[in-house]
Amino acid sequence: MNERSGWASMEVIWPMIRITVGTITDAATGRLTIKATNDRLIYWGAESLRRTGIELKVKGQERLSGGPFLVMSNHLSHFDVPLLFAGVGGNLRMVTKTELFRIPGWGPAMRQAGFIEIDRKDRARAKESLERAKETLRTGINVWIAPEGTRSRDGELQSFKKGGFIIASEMGVRILPVAIAGTHEILPPTTLKARRGGTVAIVIGEPIVSEGRDKETLLAETRAAISALVVEARALRAGSRQ
């Protein structure tokens, strides 16, 4: 079925609540581990797809080995987040806007799980967030940054911000370009109601070497790579619907 339903949104929220409670409980008792967090994030992604009846097509998963990576993708929807855990894996944390950390219960769980808060309105705090992202990468965990800065309103790739490319250039960590297709239709930025059923796709590109390269060059190359991968992801999604 492709009818729009608020219940489809709840099907994504319920598994998120479950992992939030588990994370807070484990943190309070000193039992929170990276593996437990990774497993919960994978569960959230897989369960969100199962409950909403959405089919996920993934191409390029073999390119995930050899990290950690600074993962960069287009950003279409809130549904991108569980989708990335389902397609890219649980060994992934995200640089996320500070407003989400203000949600009671969820905010503390995100901090305990290693998500990175960024306040785009405060330059000093934003710089601190990039330093925390570097520390996360040093532990071997992949970090996702949406270089567009926010969700695309029309589904097309927007201009990129430089923050993530400063990290890549300074650390020499490789960028993993990723493209997402279909989430804009599943859960558009203009609504909290998700569409049940349908197909989404992820295509993972070749890692981009950052060592010894400046942020402007990396930004241009990464944007070109993601732009090409978006075309490929749309074709993958369209082919699965035939």
Burial category of 39 from C-beta neighbours within 10 Å (exposed 0-12, middle 13-18, buried 19 and up): middle
H helices of 66-120, in order, are 80-87, 106-113
Contact (Cβ atoms closer than 8 angstroms) between residue 58 and residue 237: no
Burial classification of residue 228, based on how many CB atoms lie within 10 Å of its CB (0-12 exposed, 13-18 middle, 19 or more buried): middle
- pLDDT band at 24; cut points 50, 70, 90: confident
Scanning the structure block, which residue is given the tokens 């588990």? 22
* Tens of pLDDT, residues 52-94: 899 999 999 999 999 899 999 999 998 999 999 999 999 999 9
pLDDT tens per residue, range 163-194: 899 999 999 999 999 999 999 988 888 777 77
Pairing of strands 175-181, 92-97: unpaired
Confidence of residue 4 (pLDDT cuts 50, 70, 90): very low
Domain CATH number, residue 190: 3.40.1130
pTM of the model: 0.89
The neighbour count for residue 52, using CB atoms within 10 Å, is: 23
pLDDT at residue 234 in the model: 97
For the ranges 18-22, 35-39, 187-191, the maximum mean pLDDT occurs at 35-39
Q: Which domain holds residue 98?
A: 4-240
Q: Cα dist. 19→14, 38, 43, 56 in Å?
A: 9, 11, 8, 21
User: Domain count of the chain?
Assistant: 1
